[in-house]
Amino acid sequence: MTAIVVQDVFKVFGPGKSIDEAVQRARKGETLSDIAKATGCTVAVNNASFEIEGPQIFVIMGLSGSGKSTLLRCVNYLLEPTSGLVKLGDQDLGAMDTKSLRELRKEKTAMVFQHFGLLDNRDVLGNVGFGLELRGVSESERTKKVKEVLELVGLSEHANTRIDELSGGMQQRIGLARALATDADILLMDEAFSALDPLIRTEMQTEFLDLQKQMPKVVLFITHDLGEALRLGDRVAILKEGAIVQIDTPEQIVMNPQTEYVEAFVENVDRSRVLTAGAIAVEGDEVAVAPDLSVDDALNAMEDAGSSVLYLVEDGRVRGIVHRRDLDRAPSKDNGTLQAVAADAPEPVHANDHLLDVIPRVANHEIPLPVVDDERRFIGLLSKTRILQAIARIKRHD
Amino acid sequence: MIDIPLGKYVEIGIEWMNVHLAPFFEAISTGTGAAIAFFEAILQAPPSWMMLLFIAALAWRLAGYRVGLFCLVGLFLVDGMGMWLQTMQTLALVLSATVIAVTIGIPLGVWASRSDIVSRTVRPILDFMQTMPAFVYLIPAVLFFRLGQVPGVIATVIFAMPPVVRMTNFGIRGVSEEAVEAGRAFGASASELLFKVQLPLSMPTILAGVNQTIMLALSMVVIAAMIGAGGLGQEVLRGIQQLRIDLGFESGLAVVILAIVIDRITQALGGGK
């Protein structure tokens, strides 16, 4: 079941009588400033649609004023959309009354705030257990759960500390812990790391990615920082003036920006941090040969591919490597197979590794390295040239 | 010049109310009287030395040894000057007036914080209540409740209530929006939001308002001696009327000591220094 459906959502602020007109005009594609002039209304979310299937981090990225926080609040109906459909699981939020919306917020969603939104009068325990308290969970059960979650965010020592004694990074860990404590499937994070110092922010991002691996949730993450969006997101939606201009994987956003707006955004991104080996690997069919190939055929294959090496691939797995110079020393050119002269293949590059992490290894090898997927299947080759092309934004010529 | 007999109309209005709303005023009078009797009974039950030690210990615990020591010495002096009974009477009046003012004032402040209309309506009324010369309140109090402690306390309630209403309104409006939103995001209902988020977070501000209300109540209770509320005010009044410097000084000093004691203890309650 699709976890979150947002369909044709508009959110308009302004004088009640002109709101419908503003939506009509926005549907026709008028610019927001024209609409504001004609109706006095601000269109904060302009026909936004997206779906999130299952556990993943879905990032909505936009500059301030792009309506991203408003859009986020439409998802748990803290703000009711002016028109459009919001569904969490099979529940249509527009059809629910206030009371069942409250129940939904208690059970299904949890939220993390930019400035943490903690209750200063309570200690850490009281804050992390807040969601459970509202749900009516008994104190002893609450304490047990809170201790578990504090362990997860690395603050188990601080259960009885006052909030104002904690640093910003620690406070946001508490904010995260409060959200995790409710075991909600859906996590709404509103600029959760934006108020933190750069170093702490990076640290929190890393920890958050680890957490997400440990217990995957449906995360809707809002940020104005493209670097953060590309680092955290499984998918990224770029928001401009309330409208979503592109939804894609980070790699696609960087490699194939669909509008000039997105292009301008990604121009200065450090591409080696975003692109993965898998995304830019060159198909290696020409140099991937079966281990029982004859030496003659191998020589031909090398000539055809213009390569001085061949990878021996069997059942999708890389079994070894054969160099041109070794073929000359092969015992018998006529009936020997490659296995006799094969050497161990260099350790393959993992498809999900970022370029930044694989560059040192690729640089140290004369030959292109094999790239393998999660199941260690051979999917292609990664050469120095290819990395340079990708970073220099040269499209693949194949 | 045109003659505008506004005073006459007010008098007619008050007389009308006196006749037609008698049961209402009767109920208020009975309730207030009971509150005063309750506090007087508690404060006067133990012997002065016991009460004195208790207050000093309370101050010590809440506000540190300096305040505790001051209470001990100050109240000992009050007792020594023979003002103990009057001081306890005054304290009973202050406590009754404060309890009533807070009971009305905090909900009113909460209401004002949730509605701009209420807030805009209440503000000028509060301004009016605070800027009127204190003893003007004695007139309607006397007209509706005659002489004695009850009209004294009622005039005091009116005079002393504005700060707690204002500060409650101000405090709740000042609670961080994100904290309130966090409450809503985790499914809090309106009342849960009020009791679990807004009131606890604005408590320091509200208590500062309560402190001000108490101090205003003390100043008014002394003035209310003019309509027979008794206590230290009555001694001050006698000092003036009979030109007795000794009595005037002693009762005045007792008021000051009582003021400092109450102020320090309630400030410490509010988390101040």
pLDDT band at A77 (very low <50, low <70, confident <90, very high): very high
Q: In this structure, what DSSP letter does residue B172 have? A: H
Chain A CA closest to residue B191: A134
| Closest CB to B203 among A104, A117, A121 | A121
Residue A248 CA from chain centroid, whole number = 10
Name which of A160-174, A335-349, A353-367, B253-267 the model is least confident about.
A335-349
B1 occurs within a structural domain: no
Is the pLDDT confidence value at B273 over 50? no
CB contact under 8 A, A104 and B179: no
Rounded to an integer, the average pLDDT of B9-29 is 84
Q: Mean pLDDT across chain A, nearest whole number?
A: 88
Q: Mean pLDDT across chain B, nearest whole number?
A: 88
Tell whether A376 lies on the interface with B, counting CB pairs under 8 A: no
The CA distance from B130 to B110, in Å, is: 20
Residues of B in contact with A134 (CB under 8 A): 183, 186-188, 192, 196
Looking at CA atoms only, how far is residue B196 from chain A in angstroms? 9
B134 occurs within a structural domain: yes
Rounded to an integer, the average pLDDT of B72-80 is 87
Is the pLDDT confidence value at B234 over 60? yes
Looking at CA atoms only, how far is residue A167 from chain B in angstroms? 18
pLDDT band at B271 (very low <50, low <70, confident <90, very high): low
Looking at CA atoms only, how far is residue B259 from chain A in angstroms? 29
pLDDT value at residue B64: 86
Tally A–B CB contacts below 8 A.
66
Q: Identify the domain containing residue B80 by its residue range.
A: 6-269
B74 occurs within a structural domain: yes
CB contact under 8 A, B186 and A182: yes
Neighbours of B210 (CB within 10 A): 23
What percentage of residues in chain A have a pLDDT greater than 90? Answer: 42
What are the backbone dihedrals phi and psi of residue B131, each rounded to the nearest 5 degrees, phi first? -90, -20
Residues of A in contact with B186 (CB under 8 A): 105-106, 110-111, 130-131, 134, 178, 182
Give yes or no for a contact between B172 and B116, defined as CB atoms under 8 angstroms apart: no
pLDDT value at residue A6: 93
Is the pLDDT confidence value at A397 over 50? no
pLDDT digits (tens, 9 = 90+) for A117-130: 999 889 999 999 99
CB contact under 8 A, A105 and B201: no
DSSP-assigned beta bridge partners for residue A4: A52, A88
Is the pLDDT confidence value at A331 over 80? no
What percentage of residues in chain B have a pLDDT greater than 70? Answer: 99
Is the pLDDT confidence value at A338 over 80? no
Tell whether B271 lies on the interface with A, counting CB pairs under 8 A: no
| Closest CB to A119 among B181, B185, B197 | B197
B26 occurs within a structural domain: yes
Rounded to an integer, the average pLDDT of B151-159 is 88
The CA distance from A138 to A304, in Å, is: 73
Domain at B44, CATH number:
1.10.3720.10
pLDDT band at A392 (very low <50, low <70, confident <90, very high): confident
pLDDT value at residue A248: 92
B227 occurs within a structural domain: yes
Rounded to an integer, the average pLDDT of B204-224 is 90
Rounded to an integer, the average pLDDT of A83-91 is 91
Looking at CA atoms only, how far is residue A182 from chain B in angstroms? 9
pLDDT band at B181 (very low <50, low <70, confident <90, very high): very high
Write down all domains in chain A, each with its CATH number in brackets: 47-273 (3.40.50.300), 278-391 (3.10.580.10)
pLDDT band at A191 (very low <50, low <70, confident <90, very high): very high
Tell whether B191 lies on the interface with A, counting CB pairs under 8 A: no
CB contact under 8 A, A104 and B187: yes
B241 occurs within a structural domain: yes
DSSP per residue over A275-327, as a string? -BHHHHPBP-GGGEE-TT-BHHHHHHHHHHHT-SEEEEEETTEEEEEEEHHHH
State the residue for tokens 């004294």: B152
List all residues 6 or more positions away from B75 whose beta carbon is below 8 Å from its beta carbon.
Answer: B52, B55, B56, B87, B257, B261
B124 occurs within a structural domain: yes
Tell whether B196 lies on the interface with A, counting CB pairs under 8 A: yes
What are the backbone dihedrals phi and psi of residue A225, each rounded to the nearest 5 degrees, phi first? -105, 110
Domains contained in chain B, number: 1
The CA distance from A334 to A329, in Å, is: 13
